[in-house]
A and B are shown apart, each in its own frame.
Chain A
Amino acid sequence: MNLLKDASNMKTYIENDGFHALHITLEHTQDEIIEEVERSGLLGRGGAAFPTGLKMKFVRNEKTTPKYIVGNADEGEPGTFKDRVLIEKNPFQILEGMIISAYAIGASKGFFYLRYEYRNLVKEIERKMEEMREENLLGKNIMGTDFSFDIELVLGAGAYVCGEETALMESIEGKRGFPRIKPPYPAQYGLWGKPTLINNVETLANIPLIVNMGPKKYAEMGKEGCTGPKLFSVSGYVRKPGVYEANLGEYTVREMIEIAGGVDGEFKGLMLGGGAAGFILNGNFLDMPLCFKDAKEWGVSLGTGNIIVFNQSVNIWDVLLNIAKFFEHESCGQCFPCRYGTKRIRKIIEKILEGKGTTEDIEKINATARAMKIASLCPLGSSAMLAYESAMQNFRDELLEVIS
Chain B
Amino acid sequence: MISLRINGKVVKAKDGESILQVARREGIDIPALCYMVEEKPIGSCGLCVVEIRQGNRKYYARACTTKVSEGMEIRTHTREVEEARKTILEMLAEEHSEIGGDAMKLFSRYHVRASGKTMRKEPNLVNNPFISFNPNACVSCFRCVQACSLKENHVLVRENRGSRIRIVAGINENLKDANCAFCGACVDACPTGALMDLTHREFSGELKRITTICPYCGVGCAIDYFVSDNEIIYARGSKKGVNKGDDCIKGRYGWEFVHHPERLKKPLIKKNGEFHEVSWEEALEYIASRFKKIREIYGVDSIAGLSSAKCTNEENYLFQKFMRVAIGTNNVDHCARLCHASTVVGLFKVFGSGAMTNSLEDLENDAELYFVIGSNTTHAHPVIGTMIKRAVKKGAKLIVADPRNIELASYADIYLRHRPGTDVALINGMMNVIISLGLADMEFVKNRTEGFEKLKHTVKRYTPEYVEKITGVSRDLITRAAVMYATHRSAIIYAMGITQHTSGTGNVASLANLALLTGNVGKPGTGVNPLRGQNNVQGAGDMGALPNLLPGYVKLGTRKAREIEEIWGDKIPENPGLTVVEMMHAASEGKIKAMYIMGENPAVSDPDQKHVIQSLKSLEFLVVQDLFLSETAQLADVVLPAASSLEKEGTFTNTERRVQLLHKVIEPVGDAKPDWWIITNLARRFGKNWRYKSPEDIFEEIRMVVEQYRGITYHRISDFGIQWPCPTEEHPGTKILHTVSFPTPNGLARFTPYEYKPPAEEPNSEYPFVLTTGRTYEHFHTGTLTRKIEGFNVLMPRAFVEINSEDAKTLGIKEGDCVLVESRRGAIKVRAKIADIKKGVVFIPFHFAENAANVLTIDALDPEAKIPEFKVAAVRLKKC
Does A touch B (CB under 8 Å) in the complex? yes
Chain A residues close to B by CB (< 8 Å): 159, 176, 181, 328-337, 339-344, 367-368, 370-371, 374-377
Contact of B158 among A159, A176, A374, A376 (CB under 8 A): A176
Contact of B91 among A332, A368, A376 (CB under 8 A): A368
A335 touches B65 (CB 8 A): no
A337 touches B88 (CB 8 A): yes
For residue B91, which residues in chain A have a CB less than 8 angstroms away from its CB?
A: 336, 340-341, 344, 368, 371
Contact of A330 among B41, B92, B162, B165 (CB under 8 A): B162
B92 touches A375 (CB 8 A): no
Contact of A335 among B46, B81, B83, B95 (CB under 8 A): B46
Chain A: CB-nearest residue to B87: A371
Instruction: Tell whether A333 pairs with B81 under 8 Å between CB atoms, given A375-B88, A377-B62.
Output: no
Q: A335-B45, A375-B62, A376-B46 given. 12 additional CB < 8 A pairs? A: A333-B140, A333-B164, A335-B44, A336-B91, A336-B139, A336-B141, A339-B162, A340-B88, A370-B84, A371-B84, A371-B91, A377-B43
For residue B49, which residues in chain A have a CB less than 8 angstroms away from its CB?
A: 374-375
A184 nearest CB across to chain B (Å): 10
Instruction: Tell whether A333 pairs with B84 under 8 Å between CB atoms, given A368-B91, A377-B46.
Output: no
B162 touches A368 (CB 8 A): no
B163 touches A336 (CB 8 A): no
For residue B164, which residues in chain A have a CB less than 8 angstroms away from its CB?
A: 333
The interface bits of chain B over 35-74 (1 if a CB of A lies within 8 angstroms of the residue's CB, else 0) are: 0000001011111010000000000101001000000000
For residue A339, which residues in chain B have a CB less than 8 angstroms away from its CB?
A: 140, 162-163, 165
B60 touches A368 (CB 8 A): no
**Interface membership of B161, Cβ < 8 A:** yes
The interface bits of chain B over 147-163 (1 if a CB of A lies within 8 angstroms of the residue's CB, else 0) are: 00000000000101111
In the assembled complex, the Cα of A20 lies from the Cα of B163 at a distance in Å of 49
A328 touches B163 (CB 8 A): yes
A236 nearest CB across to chain B (Å): 26
**Interface membership of B476, Cβ < 8 A:** no
A335 touches B161 (CB 8 A): no
Contact of A340 among B62, B84, B85, B163 (CB under 8 A): B163
Chain B: CB-nearest residue to A367: B87
For residue B87, which residues in chain A have a CB less than 8 angstroms away from its CB?
A: 367-368, 370-371
A335 nearest CB across to chain B (Å): 5
In the assembled complex, the Cα of A377 lies from the Cα of B60 at a distance in Å of 10
Q: Which 7 A-B residue pairs are closest in the complex by CB-CB distance? A: A333-B165, A375-B46, A340-B91, A374-B60, A371-B87, A371-B84, A343-B163
Chain B: CB-nearest residue to A347: B94
B62 touches A336 (CB 8 A): no
In the assembled complex, the Cα of A259 lies from the Cα of B502 at a distance in Å of 90
Q: Which parts of B17-43 form the interface with A (CB within 8 Å)?
A: 41, 43
In the assembled complex, the Cα of A341 lies from the Cα of B160 at a distance in Å of 17
**Interface membership of B563, Cβ < 8 A:** no
Chain B: CB-nearest residue to A331: B162
23 examples of A-B residue contacts, CB within 8 angstroms? A176-B161, A181-B41, A329-B162, A331-B161, A331-B163, A332-B161, A332-B162, A333-B158, A335-B44, A336-B46, A336-B139, A336-B141, A339-B162, A340-B95, A341-B91, A342-B162, A342-B163, A343-B162, A370-B80, A371-B46, A371-B83, A374-B60, A376-B46
For residue A333, which residues in chain B have a CB less than 8 angstroms away from its CB?
A: 140, 158, 160-165
Chain A: CB-nearest residue to B94: A344
A193 nearest CB across to chain B (Å): 13
A276 nearest CB across to chain B (Å): 14
For residue B163, which residues in chain A have a CB less than 8 angstroms away from its CB?
A: 328, 331, 333, 339-340, 342-343
The interface bits of chain B over 80-112 (1 if a CB of A lies within 8 angstroms of the residue's CB, else 0) are: 110111011001101100000000000000000
A157 nearest CB across to chain B (Å): 12
For residue A343, which residues in chain B have a CB less than 8 angstroms away from its CB?
A: 95, 162-163
For residue B161, which residues in chain A have a CB less than 8 angstroms away from its CB?
A: 159, 176, 331-333
A375 touches B60 (CB 8 A): yes
A181 touches B92 (CB 8 A): no
A268 nearest CB across to chain B (Å): 30
For residue A159, which residues in chain B have a CB less than 8 angstroms away from its CB?
A: 161
Chain B: CB-nearest residue to A343: B163
A340 touches B92 (CB 8 A): yes
A360 nearest CB across to chain B (Å): 13
Chain B: CB-nearest residue to A179: B43
Chain A: CB-nearest residue to B64: A181
B44 touches A181 (CB 8 A): no
In the assembled complex, the Cα of A110 lies from the Cα of B280 at a distance in Å of 80
Q: Which of B43, B60, B87, B88 has the most CB of A within 10 A?
A: B87
For residue A342, which residues in chain B have a CB less than 8 angstroms away from its CB?
A: 162-163
B65 nearest CB across to chain A (Å): 5
Q: Which parts of B848-864 form the interface with A (CB within 8 Å)?
A: none
In the assembled complex, the Cα of A342 lies from the Cα of B95 at a distance in Å of 13
In the assembled complex, the Cα of A399 lies from the Cα of B775 at a distance in Å of 69
For residue B46, which residues in chain A have a CB less than 8 angstroms away from its CB?
A: 335-337, 371, 375-377
B651 nearest CB across to chain A (Å): 46
A336 touches B162 (CB 8 A): no
Contact of B83 among A332, A341, A370 (CB under 8 A): A370
B314 nearest CB across to chain A (Å): 53
A181 touches B65 (CB 8 A): yes
Instruction: Tell whether A336 pairs with B83 under 8 Å between CB atoms, given A331-B161, A376-B46.
Output: no
For residue B45, which residues in chain A have a CB less than 8 angstroms away from its CB?
A: 335-336
In the assembled complex, the Cα of A367 lies from the Cα of B60 at a distance in Å of 16
Chain B: CB-nearest residue to A183: B67
Chain A: CB-nearest residue to B90: A367
B446 nearest CB across to chain A (Å): 42
In the assembled complex, the Cα of A368 lies from the Cα of B163 at a distance in Å of 15
A5 nearest CB across to chain B (Å): 39
